[in-house]
Structure 1
Amino acid sequence: MKWQAIEIDTYLQAKEYVDTAIIPLVPISWEKEVKGTVAMGEFIMIMADELERQFRGRVIQFPAFSYLKSEPLDDRVQRLECWYQELTEHGVKHVVYITSDHDWKTAENKLSDMLLWLPTIPLEHMDHQYKVQTVSDQIKQLLPIMTNKWQNDSGLQND
């Protein structure tokens, strides 16, 4: 489900099954590497959309967590932790952050849940069929990571 009014109605009816939040981490920079930064955010939003589609009924995709590349990483982590606290206090069991920004890898141990980092694949000049195949190939790699997370987390809760 996505962060849309019509889908939230569905969520409210079935929220006991929706236990995972997907939060795309999208950088903004108007100063340097503008096009690369835009491509990074665009790629991650496509990947988040596809993850949501694959796991519809189990996940809810939140709006992008946008931040300035110039913002100190610790400040970003602190703001993101506020999101995590809000969600987990209200029943979300798993939070998955997805990004192409390598800065987050250096702060991964400071995050309260799973970070999926993917290198940006420039989709801009690909023909549609190749773009669909490329995204599909990337998602195939993420599916077992997500299912393993759920299995491992549920196993920990039963011990």
Structure 2
Amino acid sequence: MKFSEIEASAWEELRPYLDTCLIPVTGLTGSEQPYEVTEQLERLRDLMDCLEIPFKGRVVTYPSVQYGRAEIAAFINEICRNTKLSGFKYVIVVSADVEWEAGQLEDADVIVTAQAFPDYKESTGSEQIRQAVQLLWQS
């Protein structure tokens, strides 16, 4: 479910079921050509489909973080902390083109990247992503 689909009047009723926030990260630098931006956004969309479609009704997709590479990890950690403070139990960071080193995103519960799940466009890769999220929920 997209954040924009949630009405203020319905949020308190939906909140117990929508406990997981997805933070998409494009990671643009501004140096990309228009067609490269399109390609990056398409990759991110395809990766997001692995989470949004099977877990509709459990996850809320927040707006994408579009730009930033150098200090983006600190910014993403702050977003993760803030979304948890606002009531989400879990935060999943998703990016097709940004890769983080171990421990860089300590406030994210799961990090889904195209590098970590290279077969995400195939059923085996999307199943691995689903399993990672279900493992989070079971722990």
* Same-fold status (TM-score > 0.5): yes
- Contact 1:49–1:61 (CA<8 Å) still a contact in 2? no
CA shift for structure 1 position 145: 1.0
* Bigger relative contact order (CA 8 A; separation at least 6): 2
What SS does the aligned partner of 2:53 have?
helix
The AA in structure 2 aligned to 1:142 is I
Q: Does the C-alpha gap of structure 1 residues 50 and 2 become closer, same or farther in structure 2, counting only changes over 3 Å? A: farther
CA shift for structure 1 position 77: 1.5
> What corresponds to 1:68 in structure 2?
68
TM-score normalized by the length of structure 2: 0.78
CA shift for structure 1 position 16: 0.7
> What corresponds to 1:130 in structure 2?
none
Unaligned runs of at least 5 residues, structure 1:
122-133, 153-159
CA shift for structure 1 position 42: 1.9
What SS does the aligned partner of 1:109 have?
coil
When the two structures are aligned, how many residues end up with a matched partner?
A: 133
1:144 equivalenced with 2:124 (yes/no): no
> What corresponds to 1:42 in structure 2?
42
Return the alpha-carbon distance in structure 2 between the equivalents of residues 66 and 93 of structure 1: 24
> What corresponds to 1:124 in structure 2?
none
CA shift for structure 1 position 135: 5.6
* Max Rg structure: 1
CA shift for structure 1 position 150: 1.0
What SS does the aligned partner of 1:92 have?
coil
Unaligned runs of at least 5 residues, structure 2:
none
Greater helix percent: which structure? 1
Q: Which stretch of the first structure deviates more once superposed, 32-41 or 109-118?
A: 32-41
Question: What percentage of aligned pairs have identical amino acids?
Answer: 21
What SS does the aligned partner of 1:142 have?
helix
* Alpha-carbon displacement from aligned partner over 1:72-116 (angstroms, at most 9, x marks no partner): 1xx2112112211211111111100111224x332x412112211
- Contact 1:18–1:57 (CA<8 Å) still a contact in 2? yes
* Alpha-carbon displacement from aligned partner over 1:22-76 (angstroms, at most 9, x marks no partner): 111102134257644542332112321441121111110111111234xx1xx21
Q: CA RMSD in A?
A: 2.6
Return the alpha-carbon distance in structure 2 between the equivalents of residues 137 and 52 of structure 1: 17
